[in-house]
């Protein structure tokens, strides 16, 4: 496992993300159909497949270049809130990816992305959104950094926490976004954005482990 992560890791991360989103497209769509517009899986899959086309044959020098391409492509091809939120996250993150990232740098990059999500979506913890997966992930990442873990270990801890956060959205009542229209009926369903967040972070961790 590498001590720092750069463009190669970022490319592999996005390729792995595209693969898992494609594989879990129907699951994400079913989750969204229960409490949303039913298009989360399809929208994300279309977006990341377009990203793969843009990155095909590309030789980016930094992780930041990779993530900026991801951001602009998602924003232009993905409809609904997910395109704007993920696009904003990758765009904010790209600004911290000009040099190779150590463990603390990885968490800082992802923190910048989450700050963009929060600012764009005006969501906070407990509202049954992707923030409920990102927030525990960041906490776990900071703990792993403090414990002297490697970038791959930090990302693995974040991915585990994100999945736990996604599961923990099931009993919550949505108070933000399309799901909030259901009120109490939104309880008992997992938030699709939180689940896709867990997949994105698992892809990042797997790419780091292979770096």
Mean pLDDT (the chain) is: 94
**Residue 80 pLDDT exceeds 90:** no
Directed axis angle between helix 151-167 and helix 103-121, to 10°? 30
Tell me the three state secondary structure of residue 111: helix
What pLDDT is stored for residue 71 in this prediction?
97
Q: Which residues of 10-34 are buried (b: 16+ CB within 10 A; e: fewer)?
A: bbbbbbbbbebbeebbebbbbbbbb
How far is CA 8 from each of CA 5, 48, 76, rounded to the nearest angstrom? 8, 17, 24
Mean of the pLDDT values across residues 41-60?
A: 95
> Is pLDDT larger for residue 23 or for residue 35?
23
Which bin fits 59, alpha (ψ -120 to 50), beta or left (φ > 0)? beta
CB 7 within 8 A of CB 13: no
What pLDDT is stored for residue 28 in this prediction?
96
Q: Which CATH architecture has domain 7-210?
A: Alpha Horseshoe (1.25)
CB 16 within 8 A of CB 207: yes
pLDDT in tens, 170-184: 999 887 676 776 778
Report yes or no on whether pTM surpasses 0.85.
yes
When mean pLDDT is compared across 29-33, 77-81, 130-134, 165-169, the lowest value belongs to 77-81
What pLDDT is stored for residue 119 in this prediction?
93
What pLDDT is stored for residue 24 in this prediction?
98
CA dihedral sign of residues 123, 63, 9, 147: negative
Burial level of 36, CB count in 10 A (0-12/13-18/19+)? buried
pLDDT in tens, 115-165: 999 999 898 899 999 999 999 999 999 999 999 999 999 999 999 999 999
Q: Which of 51, 42, 43, 40 is nearest to 18 (CA)?
A: 51
What pLDDT is stored for residue 182 in this prediction?
74
């Amino acid at each position: 496992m590498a001590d720092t992560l750069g463009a190669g890791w970022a490319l592999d991360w996005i390729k792995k993300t595209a693969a898992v989103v494609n594989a879990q497209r129907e699951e994400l769509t079913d989750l969204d159909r229960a409490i949303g517009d039913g298009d989360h899986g399809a929208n994300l899959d279309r977006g990341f497949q377009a990203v793969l086309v843009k990155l095909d044959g590309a030789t980016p020098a930094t992780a930041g270049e990779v993530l900026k391409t991801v951001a602009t492509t998602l924003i232009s091809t993905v409809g609904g809130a997910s395109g704007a939120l993920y696009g904003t996250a990758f765009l904010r993150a790209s600004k911290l990816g000009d040099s190779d990232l150590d463990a603390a740098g990885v968490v800082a990059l992802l923190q910048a992305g989450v700050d963009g999500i929060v600012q764009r979506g005006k969501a906070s913890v407990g509202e049954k959104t992707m923030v409920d997966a990102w927030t525990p992930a960041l906490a776990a990442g900071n703990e792993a950094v403090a414990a002297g873990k490697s970038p791959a270990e930090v990302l693995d801890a974040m991915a585990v926490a994100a999945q736990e956060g996604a599961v923990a959205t099931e009993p919550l009542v949505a108070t933000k976004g399309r799901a909030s229209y259901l009120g109490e009926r939104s309880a008992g369903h997992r938030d699709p954005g939180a689940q896709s967040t867990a997949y994105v972070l698992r892809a990042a961790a797997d790419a780091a482990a292979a770096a």
